[in-house]
Every structure is written in C-alpha cells, then in structure tokens.
Structure 1
C-alpha cells in the first residue's frame, strides 16, 4: 500500500471515526432527551390518575355516607370510615406529585383544603346521625354545605386535570419530536458513514467487515428504538381510550347502557378478539351472559354454574393457551377444533365477585393487550357495582323493609298519577284502606317479633292478591292501602271481601309456632263518586275504615 493510499485510508478512517463519534454523542444526547421527555409524560399520567383517584375517593365517601344514613348498615359505615383517610392520602399524593409546578401546587393545596372541609362536613353529618338521628342529619345534608364543597372540588379537579392534559399534550409532542430528531440524526449520520466506509472498503476487507458489523448493530438499535416509540404511542392511545371509557361508564344509568358502552370501547381496543360478560344471579347458582360482541375464537355457554369457571373459583384471571388441547374452563369450548386462546377475568368490586368477562383470540395477544383487558374489566366492575348500589338505594327509598310493600311516599305519588290517568281514559279507581283488627292486643300477646311476623305475612298476602297494575302499600303501623286502577265500587268491594276472607284464614307462624287468628276491617272509596282528589279519596277511605271498626270490625264499609 503506497503512502498516498495509506494516507487516504487513514484520513477516511479518522473522518469516519470522528463522524461516528459525533453521531454517537448526538444519539446519546437525543436518547437522554427522549427518556427525559418520556419520564415527564409518565409523571403527567400519574398526576391525572391521582386527580381521578382523589375525586373518586371523595365520591366514595359521599356514597358510603349516604348509603349508611339511608340504611344504617354497619358495612357501609365501615367503608365510609375507611375511605376518610384514603381521601386525605389521595389529596396529599396529588400535592406531592405537582410540587414541581408552582401553579398546580397552589391548586393542590387548595384541593387538599376543600377535601378536608368536605370530609369534616361529612363527619359532622355522620356524628349528628349517630347522636341525634336521621332527621337531624338529613337537615344538615339539605343545608347544602357538602354539595357546595363537592361542586368546588369538582371544578378545581376539572381545572387541574385540564392543566395536566395540556401539559401532557405538550410533553407528548416534545417526546415525539425528540424521537423523530433522534431517528433522523441517526439515519443521516449512518448514511454519510456508509459512504465513507464504502470508499475505504475497496482496499481494506477488514474495514468492510467492521463497517457491516457496525451497520448491523446500529440497525438493531434503531429497530429497538422504533419499536419502543411505537409501543409508547400505542400505550398512550390505550390509556386515552380507557380514560374515556371509564368516564362514559360513570355516566351510565343502567346495566344495559354500561354493556353498550363496553361493547363500543372494547371493540376499538381489541378488534381481533371476542368478548362476553356474565353476571352471577342473586341466587348465586348461575352465571348469565348479559352481552357478547367481537369475533370470538372460542365458544362460551350463555348460562352455567359458577363452579364451571376456574376464574370464579380462584377469584383471579385464568388463561387457556389452547382451548382445544389444554386445561380450560368447562363453559369454554373450541370452535371446529381450531386452536384458540382464552382468558376469564372475574368482575370484582369492593371484595365482591359480581361475574366475569371472557376474551378469546386466535392466538395469544401481546402483554399490552392483556393489560387492556384487565383494566377494562376493572372499570366495568366498578360501574356495575355502582349501578347495583344505586338500584338498591332506590328500592330502599320506596319500599317498606318489613313487609316488602311500597311505602306511604310512593303511595301518594302513585295515587296522584293513577287518578290523572284514569280521569283521562274515563275509568274508575278504587282505594282500599285495610286495618288489622286488635293488632295492639296481638302485639302485646305475642311480642313485637310476633307482631312483625303478622305484618310480614299480611304484606305477602296483599302482594298475592295484587294484579300487575295494582299498588299495595303499608300506610303506617298495622294499616295498609291498595290502589285499584280501573276498578269500580262494586268490583272493589268484591276484591275487599276476598282480602278480608284471606286474612281471616291466615296462618301466622313465628319460630315454628302458630300464632293466634286475626281479622281485618276494610274501608272502600272510589273515584269519581267519593272524590276526585287524591288526599280526599284517602280521607274518605280512612273514614269508611273507621266506620267498619265502629260497626264491630271484620267487615267492609264503602264510602
């Protein structure tokens, strides 16, 4: 090799080395910037999640307190007391996360103060309930201090979340810019480096081999970087869709709405999988399908005993790598002997298993998709639990807990509505006012438990004598009321005689002991003959009942 060639080779090698060194420094710097911006993106996600947790925890405090005030259930009281420190901890966590942002830090301090005030107001209501009873506590709730504080918390939560989302958008943009800059600088540096290597490699086979090795290593690093950027973007998209899904679920007012929202969201998140959602019946004997969608790779039964599912038995997700040739749940089977992957995930909320969700695909999905499945099921579990609690509270607000009949408040609302309807269609409406004769003497003889047993049996008897359109209510004490839409005075009297006769032959058992016989007096009033007003119609039926008792009881008197 002559001196000129050697000099050119050395110059090329030095130039190439210098260029690669520069590219390496730039790549390292760009990678650090990318990692830094990605870290800030993660941090912003943590802040948004913490904000949602604060708001959700305070809402849980409200819900548990309201449920306890309405029902007096000890488990709701325990959940309420347990959620108080959790709300404070969540608010403190937000303050810690935004300490680097003075503006958000000030808002976080204000949020902590509002949360503490809301919790103190809640504790005052709780203490009043424990010391002075439900009515005094309800008056404090009606005063609106807690509602005002909750509104301020909600607005501040929205402001902080909006600020964080704005930060997230800017930081994601910066992260993507850093990634593109890093990729472009790497490609440009490699291009120039390859040209120089090609010029030197014509004479030096060793340098050619080194160049190819360097190219392969760099290409691998670039592929890994591109893959990481793609996965980050995919996770961000999944997080955004799951956040929107959770928000939609919180606004659902029925299980059907929650299933429709889930169908749309999960179809977008998992387009290559099939899904099915089951709820366990109240009897705990069967799991019943309430929604299926997607393209299932394995079939699953519409109705099956909970013990047929490994996930329900173990209380945790159960995965089948190949439904046709491995351990699987009894309710899952392969379609036409084709291989399929399946997973069952329990619907768990507040420690209670509500049902399960089943997902099936032609092949095992990526870990990120499995994370999406678990996250979606967690959100659906909370939504279904909240809907069940809402239905329970509504039922408790209109039903008498002892007899299972509607209460007086529901009676007054329903009578006004049914009177208006019957007036529109030109039909009669009758009201039966029913009183159990000598109930006080029965109660004194058999004790309060015996009296309660009689009232319970009477409630069941009235329900058995109701048509679908009739409304049976406990008016108060041992008095009951029945609204009979489209029933005239003659038919109402015949219905009353059936009920009077049924009460006379009623067998009341308490603690396996048959209690004494009982009779009933019934007053009948009919729209429009007796009155056209709801309150007056009830008064006339009550007056007729009074006459029946004055005439010797165990009889029917019409107004």
Structure 2
C-alpha cells in the first residue's frame, strides 16, 4: 500500500515532469520561434534601411554629376554637358519618388524629401532656361547635397539602432538555445528541424547583411574617390584659368596629372606650329625617373595621334608600340590626344609601372578625359588670346605695328625720355608716287612693294626702334635715345636702302620706288606726341614739295639729301 502512493506519486511526478517538460519545451520553442521572427523582422528593417541609404547615395551621385556637368558647361559651353546635367536632374527627381515610397513611415525623412523635391524642381528649372541660370543652379545643387547628407545621416543612425537590436536579439536567441539544450535535450531533438531551419535563415540574413555592408562600403569608397577627383578637377580648372602663358599651363597640368594619377610617370607633348614635330614640354614621375619619351618626335610615331582617341598598350589591349620612346617601349602605357575646337594640339603620355597602377588609371579614365580637355582648352585659349593681341597691334599686310600701337608706344617712350632727360626722334615716311605705281602695276604689286619696303625698314633699324604703318603708304619710326646727327644718318640709310631696291631685287617694279622722310626731335621740336607727329609730318611734306626722295629735318630749310 505504501508503494502504491509512492508509485502513484512518482507517476504523478513523472507526468508532471513530462507535462512540465512538454510545457517548458513548448514554451521554449514558442519563445525561440518568436525571437527568431523578431530577429528576421529586425534584419528586414535593417535591410530596408540599407536600401534607403543606397537610394540616397544614388541620388547624391546624380547631384554630383549634375554639378560637374554644369561646371564643365560653364567652362566649355558644351551643350552635351548641359544636356547631361538636365538628364541627371530628371533622374534625381525619379530617385526622390522612389525614396518617398521607401520612407513613407518616417515623418522626418518625408519632410526632407519635400525639401529635396523643391530644390530639384528649382534646379531643373534653372538648367532648362535659355540661357541656363548656372549661379542659382549651383546654389540648388548645394541645397540638394545638404538635404541628401542630412537624410543619409539620419538613416545611418537608424541603421545603427536596428543593427544593435538585431545583434541583441541574436544573443538572446543563442543563450536561450543553450539553456534549452542543457535542460531539455530531448526536446532539442524534436525541435532540431525547426532550429536548423531558423539557423539557416539567420545565416542567410547575416550573409545578405554582410554583402550589403560590403557593397555600401565600396560605394562610399567610390564616392569618396569621385569627390576627390571633382575637387582636384576644380582646382585644376582654377589654376589653368590663371595661367598667362603656355609654359605655365604645361607645368600646372603636369602637376595636376601627377596628383590625379599617383604612382604613374608621364609627359605632356605639344605639336609645333609647323605640325611636323611633337615636343615634350612637361613631365612627371612617381620615382624621379625619366618618363622614357623622346624630347622631340614626328607625329606619325604616336599611335594615339594617328587614331585620334584613347589608346592603351597593355596585355589584353593593343600590342602595337608607339615609336616615340628613348630605348624600348614600356610594357603598359596610355596615349591620349589633346583636342581643342576640333584641332589636335598634342598628346598626353601616361606610363603604368605595374598592373595595380593600370587599374587605378582605368578607374579614373573620366577624370583623365576631363583634365585633358581642360588642358587643351587652356592652351587653345592662350593661343587665341595671343593671336587677338597680335591682330590688335599689328598691321595685317606688313606685320609692322599699327597706328593704334604707335600712339601708345610713343606716349610711353616720351615719358621714358622725359624721366631720363634723353632724346627721341620720330621719322615720318611716305612712298613717292605710290598711287601711280598702283595704277600702273595693280594693287597686288602695290601690296608687294609695301611688304618689301617694310622688310627693308626692319633691316635698317636697331632692335629697340619701333616701326609702324601709319596708314596707306605712310610709315612712322620711333628712335629712342638718339642724337639729331644719328637720326639724320639713320634716315639716310633707310632712304638709300629703299632707293637701291631695284638693284638688289633686279625688278622693274622697284625702278621708281623711293621714300621721302621728315624727322622731328624730342624735346627740341615738340614736347607731346601730337606735336612731334605734326612737326615730322610737316617736314615730310616739305620733302615732297622739294622734289621727294630726300630727308628733311624740322629745323632744316633745305633737304638733307637727294
């Protein structure tokens, strides 16, 4: 009888233990299942936050490209750049719509998106006007960037919180599993399949999160590199705009290329004015070694110049070597033509010591392309400015200084002579019977005479003397630091040289070509440019009246020579 109650109690105890074990196991299983679901949910929210961050990064990239395009349009007036900026702005608005659907549950981000919509709409309007309002466009681009930066910061904070929640729940789940394993090993066998499934699912979530984190890290690294490129290109553009001559452009460009393509060596080479040779004008090197390219070489030796486009010589690319190297050609290099206004003006050579450097150069191809374009445009602008300056002070037919330059130069020389208490002479010269020569031989012959006489004048004066075409067949020469006697001698040399043209050239065209010359001396004959020119002109006309082919000084009463 005693055993029966004990047995009954044991059975009851076993039943209670079994029931408790079942209940505990069931409760533990339920707890584990719910915790796992919470972990999955937290992972999904973290994944959602990463998706939002990726969309924000894409929008930021579009904003950067819009800014770059508008800046290059300002420099180059290239409509393609402006069109790219507009297209990027439209894509930015589309991305903002996608973001709105992703952050519909976040009131703070919704408010930020309203700001982004406003500034992107204004940016598109500024770029679509004719002409585009680039000043306001830059302000709106900055506003868009600030808004996207604020959104990214908020999402990063949210991602951190959700990752912490996921990690905390994962730890709780692990501890619970270990506890249940120690207490109810038998229950673990029953729940093994469920736990295995949950473990696999968690592994997939963690693996996906790791992949997303890696992709995000790579994107951030790429964005950081892109931002550095944009900053470097902006600095290069500012430097090139400040350059006043071609050597400055050459040095500045080489420095910026060495910054953009660290680890490389290279050279900037320009085609000469005759377009029959290419000259190396600047170089850079990562290890203070020569770039290996020849100082001077014919254009046809460069495959990049012949093809007119980016040309790699490397394993897996073209194996045809350029022939502009000193010694053997490198294993891996890039030749990029410099083109401005449709004209090829030179090449950029970039040498890559190893495969890693080549990959860096390939990843920055767009930056290289833009910096090459900036360099070519800077050189073309300087050349255009030089031509315009030459045209503004030179006579187109004779290449002598024109009357405008004469007025400026004479004032300058008079001021210098006054400071030094020195002398200065002005010769006014006129070709005798030039109208008759034009009528007899034609205007083409007259132009030939003017050019030959201009050449004769240049051969008869000193380096510091200034020869100007005053107008028509009249010429003026400014002779600084000269005595009256030397002035008369110089004028006689010029007169005789012109009179002897027929003998020297053996051409009947010059049989009657002579010049009459009037000379005025500062300060004796005048204190101002107007006075000197007037007196010299009066002396010239006196020489004309007295028979031509002679030199007359202002104080003379008779011609100096016949």
> TM-score if structure 2 supplies the norm length?
0.75
Q: Deviations over 1:437-462 (max 9, x none)?
A: 11000111111111112112222222
Is 2:60 the partner of 1:31? no
Shift of 1:195: 7.4
Q: Residue 146 of structure 2 aligns with which residue?
A: 169
- Is 1:353 equivalent to 2:344 in the alignment? yes
- Residues 1:482 and 2:477 aligned together: yes
Match of 1:311 in 2: 304
Counterpart-to-counterpart distance in 2, 1:494 and 1:187: 99
Question: What is the SS of the residue equivalent to 2:33?
Answer: helix
Judging changes above 3 Å, is the alpha-carbon distance between structure 1 residues 242 and 54 closer, same or farther for their aligned structure 2 residues?
closer
Q: Is the 8 A contact 1:246 1:379 kept in 2?
A: yes
Match of 1:228 among 219, 222, 243: 219
Partner of 2:522: 527
1:351–1:427 Cα change, 3 Å: same
Judged with a 3 Å threshold, the aligned counterparts in structure 2 of structure 1 residues 113 and 28 are, in CA distance, closer, same or farther, namely closer
For residues 168-222 of structure 1, give each alpha carbon's deviation from its aligned partner in whole angstroms, at most 9, with x where no partner exists. 2332453465457547745763675477469759887967788667655543442
Find the aligned partners of 2:204 and 2:498 in 1 and give their Cα distance: 97
Range with bigger deviation, 454-463 or 259-268:
259-268
Q: Does 1:365 align with 2:356?
A: no
The aligned counterpart of 1:431 is 426
* Contact 1:54 1:91 (C-alpha < 8 Å) held by counterparts: no
Aligned partner of residue 262 in structure 2, secondary structure: coil
How far did 1:463 drift? Answer: 2.5
Who is 1:254 aligned against? Answer: 245
List alignment gaps of at least 5 residues for structure 1: 61-82, 116-152
Q: Are the aligned partners of 2:502 and 2:508 in contact in 1 as well (CA < 8 Å)?
A: yes
Deviation at 1:557, TM superposition (A): 1.3
Distance 1:464 1:389 in 2: 29
How far has the Cα of 1:507 moved from its partner?
Answer: 5.4
- The answer on whether the counterparts of 1:95 and 1:109 sit within 8 Å (CA) in structure 2 is no
On the 8 A contact 2:119/2:144 being kept in 1, the answer is no
CA deviation after TM superposition for structure 1 residue 486, in Å: 1.2
Report the CA distance shift for 1:326/1:160 in structure 2 as closer, same or farther (over 3 A). closer
Q: Give the number of the structure whose alpha-carbon radius of gyration is greater.
A: 2
How far the C-alpha of 1:360 sits from its partner, in A, is: 2.0
The separation in 1 between residues aligned to 2:170 and 2:327, in whole angstroms, is 55
**Structure 1 residue 240 displacement after superposition:** 2.8
Deviation at 1:235, TM superposition (A): 1.0
**Matched position secondary structure for 1:355:** strand
Q: 1:491 aligns with which of 480, 483, 486?
A: 486
Q: 1:300 aligns with which of 293, 303, 307?
A: 293
TM norm structure 1: 0.75
SS at match of 1:285: coil
1:320 corresponding residue in structure 2 = 313
The CA deviation string for residues 352-379 of structure 1, in whole angstroms up to 9 with x for no partner, is: 1111222223221333322222221111
Quote the offset at 1:479 in angstroms.
Answer: 0.6
Q: CA RMSD in A?
A: 4.0
> Number of paired residues?
491
What is the CA distance between 1:248 and its match in structure 2? 3.5
Cα deviation, residue 391, structure 1? 1.4
SS for the counterpart of 2:274 is coil
- The CA deviation at 1:410 is 0.3
Note if contact 2:69-2:82 (Cα within 8 Å) is conserved in structure 1: no
After superposing the two structures, state which structure 1 stretch, 396-405 or 170-179, moved more: 170-179
- Counterpart residue number, 2:276: 285
Distance 1:371 1:11, change over 3 A: farther
Is 1:433–1:523's contact at 8 Å kept on the other side of the alignment? yes
1-structure distance, mates of 2:43, 2:64 = 31
Name which of structure 1's ranges 162-171 and 529-538 shifts more when overlaid on structure 2: 162-171
Deviation at residue 409 of structure 1 after TM alignment: 0.6
Relative distance call for 1:107 and 1:375 in structure 2 (3 A) is closer
Distance 1:359 1:464 in 2: 47
Q: 2:67 aligns with which of 41, 48, 67?
A: 48
Structure 1 Cα separation of the partners of residues 322 and 23 of structure 2: 77
The 3 A distance-change label for structure 1 pair 241 and 491 is: same
Alpha-carbon offset, residue 326 of structure 1: 4.8
1:274 aligned partner:
265
